[in-house]
Structure 1
Amino acid sequence: MADERDADLVPELPQLESEHSYDEKHVQHEGVKGSDTEHSSYVVAVGEAEGVKVAMHLELGMTEEEAARLEAACDAMTLERTIKIVNELVLMHQDDPNFSGTLLQDMIGFIGNPDILASPDNYSQVIHSMKMEAVLATENSPYVEVRANVDPTDDPSMPVSTIRAWAIGIVFCIIGSFIDNLFAFRNPAISIGTNVAQLAAYPLGVFLARVLPDRRFQFLGEHSLNPGKFSSKEHMLISIMANISFTAPYTFYIIPVQAMPQYFNQSFAYNRGYQILLSLAVNLFGYGLAGLLRRFLVYPSVAIWPATLNTVALVKAFHQQNNEAVPGPFGRIYRASREKIFLVGTLCMFFYFFFPSYIFQALSTFSWMTWISPDNVNLTAVTGIWGGLGLNPWPTFDWNMFGGTGLYLPTFAVANQVVGILIGAVMILAVWFTNTWNTGYLPINSNGTFDNTGGKYNVTSVLNSATGKLDENLYRSYSQPFFSAGYIVYNIWAFASYSASFSYVFLFYRRDIARGFRGVYRSLFKKVEDDDLEEDVHYRLMKHYKEVPDWYYLILLVLPIAFGCGAIAGWPTHAPVAALFYGLILPIVFILPLGIIQAVTGIPVALNILANIIGGAITAGQANALMYFKVWGYLSSWQALSFCNDLKLAHYLKIPPRVTFSAQIVATIIYSIVSALQYNFIMDIKDVCTSDAAFRFTCPSQTSFYTSIIFWGIISPKKLFGKGQQYNMMLLGFPLGFILVGLYWALRRKYPKSSFLRQVHPVMLCMGPVNTAAPYNLAYYLGNLYVNLISFQYIRKRYLAFWSKWNYVISAAFSCGIALSGLFIFFTLQIPKGGNIAIDWWGNNVVNLGCEGQGGCPRLDIPEVGYFGPAPGDYF
């Protein structure tokens, strides 16, 4: 709660006391509804203060039903308690971009006016409005997005850890791990997706609930083969297990690259013991970090985890009992259930996806401006989707092109990224047209590495054939590596994102971190009881279940390290075990700030580039050492945050923590073992990881990983960013991140009431160019902005009940329809036709014309001497 330690955190309060002087005779309470508005608003028109009329508008963002249900709770809320809660809400949300800035200023005015406490009868409607917000914050969630999907109630008797849930979850883990890991070697890869698992689990669970007998037995408590109706908690438990296993593990890079002759040709990597031990080490490590950070990244209400809401919405669609009619667009009342909308949306997207993915592929990359003049280099560079910056106002008709994240990411996150992308595009054009770093001789936006003739950089040309290490003479006689303008700008902003993340969290979220540490202290030493504001209603409901002891997570922090040391030292990897421990430094420093940003915005910030630079510098000349460094330096934090995402799912559905813990461990062990046992089978497929491979098993990801390891681990960052090297100036990205956040912090303090500045997010600005890294561009993200503005800024503000009921269900339905359609196309149209899925007509061939079809063209011709840049031997 607020105390002397927090007094300096709200310096605006004293000066606001005179700005909000309330006069009851001009106060009215108004419930607004109609065809244009479907939410409760508490409008308080305030009388004249010193001759100036001041208006106060509180938008609580509640449906009419919620407002009526919570109205009664106001009677039990005292004024003193209301002031205490509102003061705490100001402290919690003053830097929270997901919280209404208008409402925040109204709260500051409320607690900054001493006359309210002295003469409460004169401010009855103002007090009533604030009581409603206080009740809302303590009995539900202050966020509309969460209230739309998550119920503030729990039924502890609801079945969750049932035999049928475990059986379905384990079978799905085995199947999902096998399919996703197998087809991760394909170009393009194909994945089942968690939404498909959710869709399949429901009818299967309902079927088992109907046919299994209610046979009970004792084993660590009483169990039944059929405890009753298939529940939402069982459904979510299966979804969490699928969320873990329906993907390819990081070892699908490491083991093939180590083992196969076209890569490093190290026979020890074929050993199944090594494969299993490394897989367990890699996949289990994140749990320890996730568990120890759950008080910071899972329990607090500000940790929304927007990406979880799709999964919650889909479960709710199948299990929601009531089907309320809601008014919506076009003046109509909509009565369709969530389940019906999900099924209709899935079916529609299933059939629609055939057009952009198979029948009319130009609808996917709708690069219509380049069709005017396909060979125009500059036109393609600016507007092209495959070969340019995608500055196209309508670049696609394919939902899968932009992922549909605009339906669940907050507007500020989407808009800031688009602004960042545009800033990055201007920088890329400036670099390319001025031929800075010789980028004019290369395509404008490629993630490839080039030599001084504009060809693909052949890393094996600079390696000693006997030792496999960098040969300085070969390097100087061949070429320096060169990057495109797009890839250079991407790296600059990636560096900026790291420094911006760290400084932003320190300046704006240090109170939340301190609150988390206070919670840890109380849980360890039991000095004081938790207050109901310290965590949200969902946390209080979860306190009815036994918590997972922290020492469980400590074991999961230590045990995978032991597995990793065993894998490194037990086989001839020629890598120091110290590489693992060096790698641990990165997540220790960055995981908390990155986790807070992802929990609030839904956007992950990956440490891969930083891991490449630091790991390459530490382990120069040792390819395996860099691989292990990246596992613990980059992947551990990425995985830990993924596990936090799953813990939030369980938190929202009130799944007992120990059940969630068991499900995550079981799913990860299955996932690790199944994938490990596949590798030798996959690597024995004829011509696998070559251009002649059947069914496109050409291993693009593994090849890119191999090139990256050679590039960063053997050539090393010193050749790129060291003193006197050509890309040394790119390191200015690090101070750029600090400067951006510092300027933003100063502006926020100078203009604390600015609603515009509250929606600016410097880390998301940095992440715009990073998330659209070459060869991706604006075209892959612009659709999210359009969708988000329609959903969050138009429909939600006018038809809140309609939006709450259907928004996240439609998002889940479209994702599921695309996944099912992709699987159908692959197994029925790709495999039988030997991988040639294209229909030969203009709508599929136009995307391959001119520079766009080549992935972009260079602007400048190679000089007559046959190369650009320094002459061979003139660099070091």
Structure 2
Amino acid sequence: MSDKYEHEPEKAVDEKGLEAQTIEAIEEPEVENSKIEAVRLVVPVTDDPTLVAVTFRFWVISFLFSVIGSVIQQYYFYRSTSGSFSIFFVNLASYAIGKAMARTLPSTSVSLGGFSFSLNPGPFNIKEHCLIGIAVSTAAGAAYAIDILSATDLFLDHRIGALGSLLLIITTQCVGYGMAGVLRKYLVYPAEMVWWSNLVQVVFYNAMHKTDDFANQKMIRGWSYMKYFWVFCGGMFIWEFIPQWIAPTLVYFDWLCWINPFNKDFWAIFSSISGGGVLAMSFDWTSVGGATMYYPLAAQLCNYGGMIVNYWILLPIMWMTNALGTKTMGRPLTSRLFFENGTGFDIKTVLNSDFTVNDAAYNAGPQANMSPLYAIGFMTSFIALAGCVSHIICFHGKDLWRNWRQAIGGEDEDIHTKLMQVYPEVPQYWYAIFYLIMAGLSIMVCEVYDLQLPWWGLIISLVLGWLLTLPICAMTAITGFGPGLNVITELVCGYMLPGKPIANMVFKCYGYMAMYQCMNLLGDLKLGHYMKIPPRSMFIAQFWGTIVGGIFNYLTMILIIDSQREVLNGDKQDPSGLWTGQRVQTFWGSGLIYGALGPARMFALDGKYGFVYLGFLIGFVIPVILWGLSKKFPSIQWSKFNVAIIAGGMGAFPNGYVVGVLPSLIVALIFQYYIFRYHKGWWKKYVFILSAALDTGAAFTGLIIFLFLGGGISPKLSVTIPSWWANHYTDDGDNAPFLSIDRCGAARGAWTGGV
């Protein structure tokens, strides 16, 4: 600093002025707040401990929307676009119902056994409202165990009984509770653990209940927060009928493919449904999502950068050069197995009656091969997992170690953690007992229902989940992105129990879900932390939602499989392009590769796919190099280059189609770069409520289409839009002359080039 500033003379202040400044400083002390800027901008630092969260209204409303949410989310599991049952729809509807119940219900007390409660304990409050949303969000998901039940039903013609299915679903969903209880001090309480998706909900709840600064906040044209919400929600609701129902081509707007739609090379490179979707657009908001407006920009750039590298650069190169026989498999992205000549491999021809592989039968014929880009997907999964552990240790290890030693009660404790100390904590033994019960039931399910997984194998899967949950959840909390344990669990079980595909799927489900459900529960606990909901109320709500959701997930699965079996198992293609068994096929394909055939056979070091193990080395080494560079060149934020997130983007395909990359990137740059950097006041005021409005409008549309226009309530209500340019299909049920709804590819193999 120059001498000019160091020696600038003091300004004279008279005695009266000094006194006035002193009084002002006393009257307006600086309010303690979070050290995370986004949290500081939107999360209030106030609380009312007198508000009750678990009420009669909570039980009734949460059950209603848990049922609806679990049904809708399971429905989307079998759809080609990754839409979801919006929690904002739940927030709006539950608010209206809760207010109505508060006005109309009597305040009579009801006794059940030794418990007594009031039907109407007072005004419908924000904590009660938020707890309903948390219970429903726990229920409104497609349980991972549904993959096992769907795969065995669709590809092995084996349906596990209802009781065994429900126990499998509930135990896999609940086994993460004990882990969440132990880890909450390290992954919920510290300010650095933001859990980004919660911020938009905090804004939404406070806007609806008009708390603190939200009460008098005015938007454009003097609108209130909720009027602003409804205007944009209504606009999106109307718009989404076009891509989701009237013109599904707008979901897959593969405009470059139209230059030469019947050329197989163009189809493989530019089709979003069957290929890399290079430079493809999508005008369906469910393909973009509101999270792109507020997730950390660096993490999003890493994610979309990985997608671009793999699907826009690597895929075209491999397809055009036929590297590792990419063209031979018929399509660049598929999770199915093939023989060397490209004909399909059917595992049922080499299975014993107990669904184990007959080695003699398999070895007597040609060997199974996988799509090269599918194999690369396994390598990127290894990169993501190893990179996550290495990145967290290198760049966040010191903070985690400090939190581990300090837990709570430290000098730099987060303000929201301090405010939560007024409420009794959930004792650790609650979580411990619950965990032991679920682990015991899990062993019983595996042994009684002959799922090929012995008790000791289940224990190993749970231990694996414990070992890797901390780094994965830490990365998710900090960046909004994190890898899964699905591939590493498959690999371990494949070496441990070769030739047993069902055992591999079950091992993966328990090992992966222990981490995944723990992560979801921790995220909800953070929302409760921001909203100051008592921890014991949170425990009750999460368990309640999990049980209700699991039951209705199962019932929905049975109905959809029975009505769409040929489409889901791949025997027939849906002409509308909206139903797909891609997720189940991917799960089953992994079960074949790792479980039935085994990694020792499929990924032999001297074999065609031995390169996948390089992923572990790449993932561990790159963060160490970046950490070293951060010490050498500290002015550059090297931690922003996250190899785990990049690799996660590269492995996007197995979870669905590569749709919405370009529009998502555009939205992220507009909101998280331009607006956040140059118009931060606008960003603070509008971005979260706008995100909620757009997501809710799109979810409303999907719900109406599913229940009424799509025949969800009754097939008699189904309404089909007449065939036209943007949804073209013929009377015999296909998209001829096009292969699929994106108007790309030649139906019935009538290619004009690129073959």
Q: Provide the alpha-carbon RMSD of the alignment.
A: 3.5
Query: Percent of counterpart pairs with the same letter?
Result: 28
Q: 2: distance between equivalents of 1:557 and 1:506?
A: 27
Query: Which deviations, in whole Å up to 9, do the C-alpha atoms of 1:520-564 show, x marking residues without a partner?
Result: 4xx7xxxxxx2341x211100000100111111111221111001
The whole-number CA distance in structure 2 between the counterparts of 1:165 and 1:680 is 29
1:193 aligns with 2:86: yes
User: What does residue 51 of structure 2 align with?
Assistant: 158
Where do 1:571-650 residues align within 5 Å? 571-650=449-528
- 1:554 counterpart residue number: 432
- What residue is the counterpart of 1:294 in the other structure? 184
SS at match of 1:23: helix
Aligned partners of 1:583 and 1:632 also within 8 Å: yes
Partner residue in 1 for 2:377: 490
Among residues 347, 359, 365, which one is paired with 1:459 in the alignment?
347
Contact 1:303/1:600 (CA < 8 Å) preserved in 2?
yes
Q: Which residue of 2 aligns with 1:812?
A: 692
- Aligned counterpart in structure 1 of residue 224 of structure 2, from 326, 334, 337: 337
Asked if residue 531 in structure 1 is aligned to residue 419 in structure 2, the reply is: no
Q: Indicate which of 375, 393, 396 corresponds to 1:509.
A: 396
**1:742 deviation in Å?**
1.8
Distance 1:672 1:459, change over 3 A: same
In structure 2, what residue type is equivalent to 1:588? W
Q: Deviations over 1:682-734 (max 9, x none)?
A: 77779686668999988664454344323321111122212322100121111
Secondary structure of 1:545's partner?
coil
Distance in 2 of aligned mates of 1:808 and 1:652? 15
- Find the counterpart in structure 1 of residue 293 from structure 2: 407
Which residue of 2 is the match for residue 91 of structure 1?
none
Alpha-carbon spacing, 1:228–1:450, altered in 2? closer, same or farther (3 Å): same
CA contact (8 A) 1:447 1:775 kept: no
Q: 2:612 aligns with which of 713, 721, 730?
A: 730
- Partner Cα distance (1:693, 1:858) in 2: 22
Aligned partner (choices 141, 144, 169) of residue 37 of structure 2: 144
Q: CA deviation at 1:183?
A: 6.7
1:149 and 1:316 in contact (8 A); partners too: no
CA distance in 1, matches of 2:82, 2:395: 39
CA distance in 2, matches of 1:506, 1:550: 26
- Cα distance, 1:503 vs structure 2: 0.8
Tell me whether 1:213 sits opposite 2:106 in the alignment.
yes
Of 582-591 and 442-451, the range deviating more from structure 2: 442-451
In 1, Cα distance between equivalents of 2:360 and 2:750:
32
Q: Decide whether the 8 Å contact of 1:579 with 1:626 is kept in 2.
A: no
Which one of the candidate residues 702, 709, 724 is aligned to 1:829? Answer: 709
Counterpart code for 1:270: G
Deviation of 1:305 (Å): 0.5
How far residue 775 of structure 1 moved from its aligned partner, in angstroms, is 6.3
Contact 2:499 2:595 in 1 (8 A): yes
Alpha-carbon shift at residue 674 of structure 1 (Å): 4.5
Paired AA for residue 620 in structure 1: P
1:793 and 1:802 mapped to 2: Cα distance?
13
| Aligned position for 1:6 | none
For the 8 Å contact 1:314–1:812, the answer to whether it is kept is yes
| CA deviation after TM superposition for structure 1 residue 244, in Å | 0.7
Separation in structure 1 between the aligned mates of residue 272 and residue 633 of structure 2, nearest angstrom: 39
Equivalents in 2 of 1:633, 1:216: separation in Å? 44
Give the CA deviation at 1:326. 6.3
Q: How does 1:230-241 map to 2 (within 5 A)?
A: 230-241=124-135
In 2, Cα distance between equivalents of 1:786 and 1:187: 22
CA distance in structure 2 between the partners assigned to 1:179 and 1:454 by the alignment:
37
**Which has the larger displacement, 759-768 or 626-635?**
759-768
Secondary structure at the counterpart of residue 357 of structure 1: helix
- Partners in 2 of 1:27 and 1:304 — Cα distance? 44
Aligned partner of 1:419 in structure 2 is 305
C-alpha contact 1:257 1:706 (8 A) present in aligned 2: yes
Partner of 1:313: 203
On the 8 A contact 1:446/1:484 being kept in 2, the answer is: yes
Q: Which has the larger radius of gyration?
A: 1
Q: Secondary structure at the match of 2:107?
A: coil
1:500–1:762: 8 Å Cα contact kept in structure 2?
Answer: yes
Do residues 448 (structure 1) and 330 (structure 2) align? Answer: no
2:14 maps to: none
Residue type of the alignment partner of 1:412: A
Structure 2 contact 218–225 (Cα < 8 Å) conserved: no
Contact kept in structure 1, 2:188 and 2:526, CA below 8 Å: yes
1:658 to 508, 515, 536: 536
Q: Specify whether residues 367 and 178 from structure 1 end up closer, same or farther in structure 2 by C-alpha distance, changes over 3 A only.
A: closer
Where does residue 540 of structure 1 map in the other structure? 418
Deviation track 1:478-499 (CA, whole Å, cap 9, x = no partner) reads: 4433333432332222111111
For residues 366 and 678 of structure 1, do their structure 2 counterparts lie closer, same or farther at Cα, with a shift above 3 Å needed?
Answer: closer
Do the aligned residues in 2 keep the contact of 1:257 with 1:263 (CA within 8 Å)?
yes
Q: Does 1:365 align with 2:243?
A: no
Distance in 2, matches of 1:773 and 1:25, equals 64
Contact 2:451-2:506 at 8 Å conserved across structures: no
The answer to whether structure 1 residue 713 and structure 2 residue 595 are counterparts is: yes
Question: 1:419 offset after TM fit, Å?
Answer: 2.3
> Tell me, what secondary structure is at the counterpart of 1:370?
helix
Structure-2 residue corresponding to 1:87 = none
Q: Distance in 2 between matches of 1:611 and 1:175?
A: 32
Q: Secondary structure at the match of 1:299?
A: coil
Aligned residue pairs: how many?
722
**Cα distance in structure 1, aligned partners of 2:151 and 2:282:** 35
CA contact 1:280–1:672 (8 Å) conserved in 2: yes
Output the amino acid matched with 1:228: G
**SS of match in other structure, 2:437:** helix
Amino acid corresponding to residue 239 of structure 1 in structure 2? G
Deviation at 1:75, TM superposition (A): 8.5
Task: Quickly say closer, same or farther: Cα 1:773–1:405, change in 2 above 3 A.
Answer: farther
Question: Partners of 2:223 and 2:424 in 1: how far apart?
Answer: 39
Match of 2:18 in 1: none
Secondary structure (helix, strand or coil) at the match of 2:418 reads helix
Describe the SS at the equivalent of 1:610: helix
The aligned residue for residue 767 of structure 1 is 648
Q: What is the match of residue 16 of structure 2?
A: none
CA shift, 1:859, in A, is 9.2
5+ unaligned residues in a row in structure 2: which ranges?
12-20, 729-737
| Mapped partners of 2:140, 2:587: distance in 1 | 21
The answer to whether the Cα contact below 8 Å between 1:386 and 1:855 also exists between their aligned partners in 2 is no
Q: Check 1:20–1:492 CA distance in 2 against 1; reply closer, same or farther (3 A cut).
A: farther
CA distance in 2, matches of 1:27, 1:567: 80
- Match of 2:193, SS state, is coil
8 A contact 2:383–2:616 mirrored in 1: yes
1:748 match: 630
Q: Does 1:843 align with 2:726?
A: yes
Matched-pair contact (CA < 8 Å) for 1:388–1:444:
yes
Residues 806/218 of structure 1: CA separation in 2 closer, same or farther (3 Å cut): farther
Distance in 2 (CA, whole Å) between partners of 1:807 and 1:742 is 35
Q: Which has the higher contact order (CA 8 A, sep 6+)?
A: 2
Distance change >3 Å, CA 221–CA 271, structure 1 → 2: closer
What TM-score results when the alignment is normalised by the length of structure 2? 0.87
Residue 424 of structure 1 and its aligned partner are, at CA, apart by 2.4
What secondary structure does 1:584 align onto? helix
Deviation of residue 850 (structure 1)?
4.1
